[in-house]
Amino acid sequence: MDLKALHRRHVLTPWLPQGSLDPPLVVRGEGVWLYDAQGGRYLDLSSGLVAANLGHAHPRMVRAIAEQAATLAYAAPSLFHDKRALLAKALSDLAPWPEGARVFFTPSGAEANEDALKFVRHLTGRPKVLSAYRSFHGATHGAAALTGENRRWPAEPAIPGVVHFFAPYPYRSPFYTEDPREETQRALDHLERVLLHEDPRRVAALFLEPVVGSNGVIVYPEGYLKGVREICDRYGILLVFDEVMTGFGRVGTGFAALRLGVVPDLITFAKGVTGAYVPLGGVLVREGLAQAFDEVPLPTGHTYSGHPLAVAAGLAALEAYREEGVFARVGRLEPVFLEALRSLEAHPWVGEVRGVGAFYGVELVRDRATKEPLSPWHAPYSPPMQALLKALLQEGVYLFAKHNVLILAPPLTIREEEFREGVERLGRALRRAGVEVG
C-alpha cells in the first residue's frame, strides 16, 4: 500500500496548498531524530512545531502515558482527579506569582487563548482586548481574532472587540528607527496612542507573546515589556502572556516571564507542558484573580479539560525537566547555539540571526541592503524558499519555516554535537539552494 498516496488523497495538511505536497512519511522518532518509512532519518531542529521539548520516545513519557491508560483513560472535568491536582500544583509553583495560581486545562493552546479571552472580559467587565499585529494565537475563531498576521484572514469577519497594534521589530522597524532604545520608546508611545483612541477604560486585557513565536522569533528590545506592564497598570488593564511556545524551558526558564522579569496577570500555555506527547494546554490565572470564580460559575468548559492521559504526561514532563536539569542546560548551551548559528551569516541570503535560549530565527533575504524578504510575507513560498526547504530534507533536516524565517527550536535534550551537525547541514542546504536558483 502506498501510504504517501493515501495520505495525500485523504488528509488535509494545515496552511499549505495540497497539490504539491511531498514531505517524508515519518513513522518513528528517537531522541532528536525522526525516521521515515524508507529508513531515512531527519534531525528535528524545530521540535516539530516548537513543541517536542523532550525529544521523541523519552522513556519517562512513554511509561507515564501507558500507566495512566491502564489505570483511567477518561474522567469528566467535573470530577477531581489525582494527576490534575498534582500537575496544577506543579504549574502554580512554576508560575511567577508569589501568591500562586490556579489552572484551567484545555486541549490546546488556541483554546487556552480563547478561554483567557473569556476570563479577562468576565473579570474586568470590559469588552475590548489588544494584541500585536505580528502574532499568532491560534486558528479557532476567537484565537484567530487575536492573531495579527495573515492566518487571521480566513476567520474574518472576526469576533468584535479585538484591536491590533504594532510591537517592536528591530530588524524591520515599523517605527522607522535603527536605535533599539528609540524603537522601544516609539513602540510604547504608539501603544498608548492606540489605547487612547480605543478608550482604555473599555480595554480588558493586552495579549502578547513575550518572545514572538512563529512570526520570526523576535526578542523585544530592552525595556519594552516593562513599559507595557506599566501602561497596563496605569489603566487597570490585565496583561496576558501567550507562552505556548516560550514556556517550559524554551528560553531557559520555566516561563519567559521569569527570564524577562516582567510578570503578567495570566499565562496561556500548551506544547512543552507535555513535550507534545499528548495534546494539553491551559490558562494560569494568578490567585488574586482566580478567587473571583469562587462564588460564580466558571464561564467556560471542555469535554477534554484535564484529560487524564494529558495531565499524566504533563506531570511526567515536569518531573523530567526538573530531574534532568533541562532548563539550566538550555542556559549553558545558549552561547553554543548562538556561536554555531553565527556561522550562517556568511551566506548572502541570511539577513539576521536572532533569538534566546533554545529559540532562534534565521531571517532570509534576497538583498541584505534592502532587506527584501526571500519569500513574501502574505503569499505561498517563493521558488528560492521552496528550493531551500527541499534541500533541507535532502540534507536530513526538518525545519519549521514561516514566510522568510527559519525557526530553529530543537528539543531541549539535543547534544552540542547534534546541534552543530544540524547547522552544518543547514549551511549545505543554503549553498545547494543558492546554486540551484542562481
Q: What is the pLDDT along the chain (438 residues), one digit of tens a residue?
A: 799 999 999 999 999 899 889 999 999 999 999 999 999 999 999 999 999 999 999 999 999 999 999 999 999 999 999 999 999 999 999 999 999 999 999 999 999 999 999 999 999 999 999 999 999 999 999 999 999 999 999 999 999 999 999 999 999 999 999 999 999 999 999 999 999 999 999 999 999 999 999 999 999 999 999 999 999 999 999 999 999 999 999 999 999 999 999 999 999 999 999 999 999 999 999 999 999 999 999 999 999 999 999 999 999 999 999 999 999 999 999 999 999 999 999 999 999 999 999 999 999 999 999 999 999 988 889 999 999 999 999 999 999 999 999 999 999 999 999 999 999 999 999 999 987 776
* Among candidate residues 303, 323, 343, the one where a domain is terminated: 323
**How many C-alpha atoms does 36 have within 13 Å on its Cβ side?**
17
pLDDT of residue 157: 94
Same domain (yes/no): 12, 130 = no
Residue 298 sits in a domain whose CATH number is 3.40.640.10
Helix then strand then coil, in percent of the chain rounded to 5, is 45, 20, 40
Note whether 251 and 192 are same-domain residues. yes
Type and span of the H or E element at 97: none
Which structural domain range is residue 410 located in? 3-57+325-437
Burial environment of residue 204 by CB neighbours within 10 A (0 to 12, 13 to 18, 19 or more): buried
Q: Are residues 316 and 337 in the same domain?
A: no
At residue 208's C-alpha, the angle toward residues 203 and 212, to 5°, is 155
CB-count burial class (<10 Å; 0-12, 13-18, 19+) for 31: middle
266 in the same domain as 164: yes
Q: Which residues touch 339 (CB under 8 Å, ≥6 apart)?
A: none
- On whether both 399 and 343 belong to a single domain, the answer is yes
Report which of 353, 303, 327, 192 is spatially closest to residue 246, judged by C-alpha positions.
327
Verify that 305 and 331 share a domain, yes or no: no
Sign of CA dihedral 116, 118, 122, 125: positive
Q: How far, in Å, CA of 429 to CA of 388, rounded? A: 6
Nearest CA among 94, 166, 173, 85 for reference residue 130: 166
Q: Give the chain's domain count.
A: 2
The CA-based angle 105-210-277, given to 5 degrees, is: 40
Examine the domain organization and report whether 279 and 405 are in the same domain: no
Backbone angles phi, psi at 341, to 5 degrees: -70, -30
